Every structure is written in structure tokens, then in C-alpha cells.
């Protein structure tokens, strides 16, 4: 795989993750799901992100975990 293909693949993965993050956020914010179900969605999102970017768990924890913590706090008034 040449550099252009690697860049395109990386961009594709980033788009996939962005869509998954937005979808998860919207489901939690607008859906009628329990707190436990919302936590499972966040963990499923993390699993999806780790499949796309296996060595970026720390990045997920630094960027997305706090974002979803805020979403959960707002939605469930924690």
C-alpha cells in the first residue's frame, strides 16, 4: 500500500469513527434508553474505535471518554 492509499484509508477510518461518535451521542441524548444501556453504547463505541485504531486507547480515553461523560451527566442528571 503506497502513501496515498494509506492516507485515504486513515481518512476513511476517521470518518467512520466520527459517524459512530455522532450517532452514539445522538442516541444517548435523544433516545429513550436507560443509563446502563447508554454505558454499553459507549463501551461498544470504544470497542469499535479500538478495532479501527488498535493502539489508540489512550487517545479515546482523553478525547471521547470526557465528552461522553458530559453527555451522560446532562442526559441522566448525574
Work out the average pLDDT over 18-22: 98
Total domains present in the chain: 1
Q: Which residues contact 55 (CB under 8 A, 6 or more apart)?
A: none
Q: Is residue 23 part of a domain?
A: no
Residue 19 resides in a domain: no
Q: Which residues constitute the domain of residue 61?
A: 34-78
> Each residue of 4-16: pLDDT tens digit?
999 999 999 999 9
In this model, does residue 28 exceed pLDDT 90? yes
Q: Which residue's C-alpha cell is 444501556? A: 37
Is residue 17 situated within a structural domain? no
In a domain, 61, yes or no: yes
Answer whether 44's CB lies under 8 Å from 21's CB. no
pTM summary value: 0.91
Q: What is the pLDDT of residue 1?
A: 80
Residue 67 within a domain = yes
Residue 58 domain-assigned?
yes
Query: Is 22 inside a domain boundary?
Result: no
- The mean pLDDT of 46-60, rounded to a whole number, is 97
Residue 14 lies in a domain: no
Percent above pLDDT 90 for the chain: 96
Amino acid at each position: 500500500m503506497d502513501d496515498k492509499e494509506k492516507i485515504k484509508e486513515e481518512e476513511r477510518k476517521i470518518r467512520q469513527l466520527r459517524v459512530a461518535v455522532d450517532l452514539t451521542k445522538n442516541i444517548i441524548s435523544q433516545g429513550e434508553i436507560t443509563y446502563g444501556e447508554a454505558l454499553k453504547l459507549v463501551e461498544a463505541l470504544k470497542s469499535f474505535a479500538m478495532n479501527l485504531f488498535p493502539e489508540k486507547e489512550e487517545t479515546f480515553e482523553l478525547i471521547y471518554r470526557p465528552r461522553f461523560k458530559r453527555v451522560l451527566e446532562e442526559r441522566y442528571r448525574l
